[in-house]
Copies of this chain bind each other. A is one copy, B any other.
Amino acid sequence: PDLEAASAVATREAQLTKPAGALGRLEEITQWLATWQGRKQPRINRPRIAVFAANHGVAAQGVSAYPSSVTRQMVDNFLQGGAAVNQLVGTIDGDLRVYELDLDNPTADFTVEAAMSEAACAQAMAYGMMAVEAGIDVLGLGEMGIGNTTSAAALCLGLFGGTAEEWVGPGTGVSGEALARKIAVVDKAYALHKDACGKDALKWLAAVGGLELAAIAGAVLAARLAKTPVLLDGFVSTAAAAVVYAIDPRALDHCLVAHVSAEPGHRRLIAKIGQEPLLDLGMRLGEGSGAAVAVSLLRAAATCHSGMATFGQAGVSGPV
């Protein structure tokens, strides 16, 4: 963290033509951008949204409203520009990158065995690190993977405890019997892996996570080293980042949660990692969509800070 940049921002903020604190959360965002970009004049000229896609063995348990084939179909849709995230990235003049993680080889069904070996998990983390490159001003992390809210719920249960009911939600839209099955699947996974994983967050990631979740955790770590602030998207992205939080809570200080999704576990998870979401719009799509929308708030904050006149420059009187 660049505390000198943060301090320079605070000094300038107090001189800008507005009552102290009148831009609210936008002022906090500017401080945060300065701290993690290491810039006295933070900027959002080059935002990137990275979407990681993978398939899940647990989908065979009937936990999603959609078949696993939709993962690749949606990746093709991303590449052809037809998905929501494509349009949203367009509105922020952003750069969209789609990373496929071996779609033809889903993880193992984690109700039977670990989803990934530790080696495969580490390899997916390393792959995720590639999303971080020099010159990116903020990185939004999204995902696509039929079955991955089940994986995220199991991961949250492993990392933070509670009950499967508290972490499982409709995902793409399951209810009734299918939702009950999803809860049972998460319960079974927890029972199967809890002795082997214990309090080891990385073991939980390998046991019940997915390749795209591992990649997101890797991207979070790489972004920290590259001075790239991160916007976490929905329940799955936040669950992946929570692995890093479970290892060291301060290791997520360069990340903000872009929005709270309609998936009920997301609000609970955000509270567990001590964050406040920037937006609350009832979105529940994943694919980086909420992160892309939140980029406009970061740009608003940075642009106000760098472009506003000071009281002195504008000849505006201060408080009486």
Task: Tell me if A299 is interfacial: C-beta within 8 Å of chain B.
Answer: yes
Among the stretches A104-112, A188-196, A300-308, the one at the interface with B is A300-308
- Cβ 8 A contact of A307, one of B90, B283, B307, B313: B90
Task: Tell me if A181 is interfacial: C-beta within 8 Å of chain B.
Answer: no
Residues of chain B contacted by A163 (CB below 8 angstroms)? none
Q: Report the minimal beta-carbon distance from A259 to chain B, rounded to whole angstroms.
A: 9
Asked if B309 and A80 make an inter-chain contact with CB atoms under 8 angstroms apart, the answer reads yes
Q: Report the minimal beta-carbon distance from A274 to chain B, rounded to whole angstroms.
A: 18
Asked if A88 and B173 make an inter-chain contact with CB atoms under 8 angstroms apart, the answer reads no
* Stoichiometry (number of copies): 2
User: Taking CB as reference atom, which chain B residue is nearest A178?
Assistant: B320
- Would you give the 0/1 interface string for A17-30, flagging 1 where the beta carbon is closer than 8 Å to chain B? 11111111110000
Among the stretches A69-77, A249-257, A265-273, the one at the interface with B is A69-77
Asked if B293 and A91 make an inter-chain contact with CB atoms under 8 angstroms apart, the answer reads no
Residues of chain B contacted by A296 (CB below 8 angstroms)? 91-92, 293, 296-297, 300
Task: Tell me if A281 is interfacial: C-beta within 8 Å of chain B.
Answer: yes
- In the docked arrangement, what's the CA distance between A292 and B307, Å? 15
- Cβ 8 A contact of A77, one of B21, B74, B297, B316: B316
Asked if B73 and A314 make an inter-chain contact with CB atoms under 8 angstroms apart, the answer reads yes
Task: Tell me if A319 is interfacial: C-beta within 8 Å of chain B.
Answer: yes
- Cβ 8 A contact of A285, one of B19, B84, B289, B314: B19
User: Taking CB as reference atom, which chain B residue is nearest A84?
Assistant: B304
- Cβ 8 A contact of A319, one of B82, B173, B313, B314: B173
Asked if B65 and A22 make an inter-chain contact with CB atoms under 8 angstroms apart, the answer reads no
Given A19-B172, A22-B285: A303 touches B67 (CB 8 Å cut-off): no
Asked if A73 and B315 make an inter-chain contact with CB atoms under 8 angstroms apart, the answer reads yes
Task: Tell me if A317 is interfacial: C-beta within 8 Å of chain B.
Answer: yes
Q: Report the minimal beta-carbon distance from A253 to chain B, rounded to whole angstroms.
A: 20
Task: Tell me if A197 is interfacial: C-beta within 8 Å of chain B.
Answer: no
Residues of chain B contacted by A292 (CB below 8 angstroms)? 300
Task: Tell me if A83 is interfacial: C-beta within 8 Å of chain B.
Answer: yes
Task: Tell me if A275 is interfacial: C-beta within 8 Å of chain B.
Answer: no
User: Taking CB as reference atom, which chain B residue is nearest A44?
Assistant: B91
Residues of chain B contacted by A82 (CB below 8 angstroms)? 17, 307-309, 313-314
Asked if B73 and A317 make an inter-chain contact with CB atoms under 8 angstroms apart, the answer reads yes
Asked if A87 and B315 make an inter-chain contact with CB atoms under 8 angstroms apart, the answer reads no
User: Taking CB as reference atom, which chain B residue is nearest A306?
Assistant: B87
Interface residues of A (CB under 8 A from B): 16-26, 64-67, 69-70, 73-74, 76-77, 80-84, 86-88, 90-92, 172-173, 261-262, 278-285, 289, 292-293, 296-297, 299-300, 303-304, 306-309, 313-320
Can you offer 11 A-B residue contacts whose CB atoms are under 8 A? A18-B83, A22-B284, A24-B282, A25-B283, A65-B320, A87-B306, A91-B296, A91-B299, A91-B300, A279-B279, A292-B300
